[in-house]
Structure 1
Amino acid sequence: MKEIIENSLKNAMEYSQYQLLFKQLVEKGRTTGEETDEKINYTKLNFSRSKRLDKTIKLSEKEKQCFKNIRENQTWLVITEPWCGDAAQSLPFFNKIAQISEKIALKIVLRDENPNLMDAFLTKGSRSIPKLIILNKEKEILNVWGPRSSAATKLVQDYLEEHGKIDDIVKTNLQLWYNQDKGKAILTELQELALYEKRTASI
């Protein structure tokens, strides 16, 4: 596992590099991985959403202090893709937190270019993203988060149990939920995870 993580980190991007890739893909009308019209459209939409969040995210003083209180260096390794709607809602928060805490280094890798890493962090057997892997300074796993907050996951799961499928209706409902929640669920969960400096994560 440690070798897989270290190899992934060698090719990881900073947030600024990821956003530049995002911008270039939108300008060219393309996306990463297997290109479909749907994924290309989502990439464009997600770039707009992430740019808006980058400008509007505000953490409370309590939240800021929490992340500043992290005592040891951490690497936040994120598995994602530009076409992923959930990632567009969470990556800007990861970046804002990393800007606040000098102990956090945010690194980003693409799912389809890192299958060994992705397959080590499946969600119920699925390659669901984004996936945040919190590592200590020895690159040992402290915690894992994703692909959504517990509240967002429940929203999707309840719909799936009632309707038997994920469709445009639940995607719209989820986006409305994100707009109303304003990242509160993500920030609450990340505060709890980031402060656990000694923990063996179950995968």
Structure 2
Amino acid sequence: MNKNKGITKFFGKHTYNKLYTYDEFSELSENEIKNADVNLLSDQEKIYLEYSKINLQRTTRIHKTFKPNDNVVKLIMQFDKPQTWLMITEHWCGDSAQNLPYFVMYAKFNPLINIQIVLRDSNLEAIDDYFNSPTTRSIPKIIGFDENGDELFIWGARPKIAEDLVMQLKAEGFSKEEFNEKLHLWYGRNRGKELEKEMISLFSTLLKKIV
């Protein structure tokens, strides 16, 4: 079986730079942080580096404190055919750090689920069809495929309640820095509970379609 058959169909004729496993993606991030020479970085790259450092702390905390929700696990274990979950992301993305670890850890309960990661910014042409607009390429974006390469689901870029919070804060005139602070405070307090509710809904609906 070609584990990346769904990936091949997803990209079609477009070329992409590289696919990563979650461990490879994490290692790449750690190495970039460790080996970065701030004297050679642009101002934007320095900002991204600081974001990446914070995100490493976030993902580490989630992995250490993760307690699986039995209802999510039961649903995950019912998938009896191979799936590929393609995650579009970047190391500096705060929403990715707060959400992807949960998807990855739950996927480990079913060996039929194959996680693959593609970096957004170096693959824009290949992935733009999965964004609403070239100006709103919100990440993370997760696309699930079956063994035939047919789309099963799309999730992203954050739980609906978190998205509603961001929209409300923007409407009230909060700056990006201000609403990001409030958003990540919400993530820290919620500890993945809202995401797990969405997983239960997502996977329950999916099982009705494929079983």
Task: Select the residue among 104, 123, 140 that pairs with 1:130.
Answer: 140
Q: TM-score, normalised by structure 1?
A: 0.87
Moved more, 118-127 or 53-62: 118-127
Q: Secondary structure at the match of 1:113?
A: coil
Letter in 1 for 2:192: G
Pairing of 1:13-162 with structure 2 (within 5 A): 13-29=20-36, 36-123=45-132, 125=134, 126-162=136-172
Q: Secondary structure at the match of 2:79?
A: coil
Counting aligned pairs with the same residue, the percent is 30
Structure-2 change in CA distance of 1:95 and 1:156 (3 Å): same
Alignment check: 8 A CA contact 1:134 1:194 kept? no
Relative contact order higher in (CA < 8 Å, ≥ 6 apart):
2
Query: Residue by residue, what CA displacement relative to the aligned partner does 1:101-154 show, whole Å, maximum 9, x if unpaired?
Result: 222111101001211233111145511100000111111111111011101100
Root mean square deviation, CA, Å? 2.4
- Distance in 1 (CA, whole Å) between partners of 2:158 and 2:127 is 16
- Distance in 2 (CA, whole Å) between partners of 1:45 and 1:138 is 38
Shift of 1:8: 6.7
Shift of 1:191: 2.7
The match for 1:11 is: 18
Q: TM-score, normalised by structure 2?
A: 0.84
Unpaired segments of 5 or more residues in structure 2?
1-7
Structure-2 change in CA distance of 1:146 and 1:92 (3 Å): same
Unpaired segments of 5 or more residues in structure 1?
none
Shift of 1:22: 1.1
Give the number of aligned pairs: 196
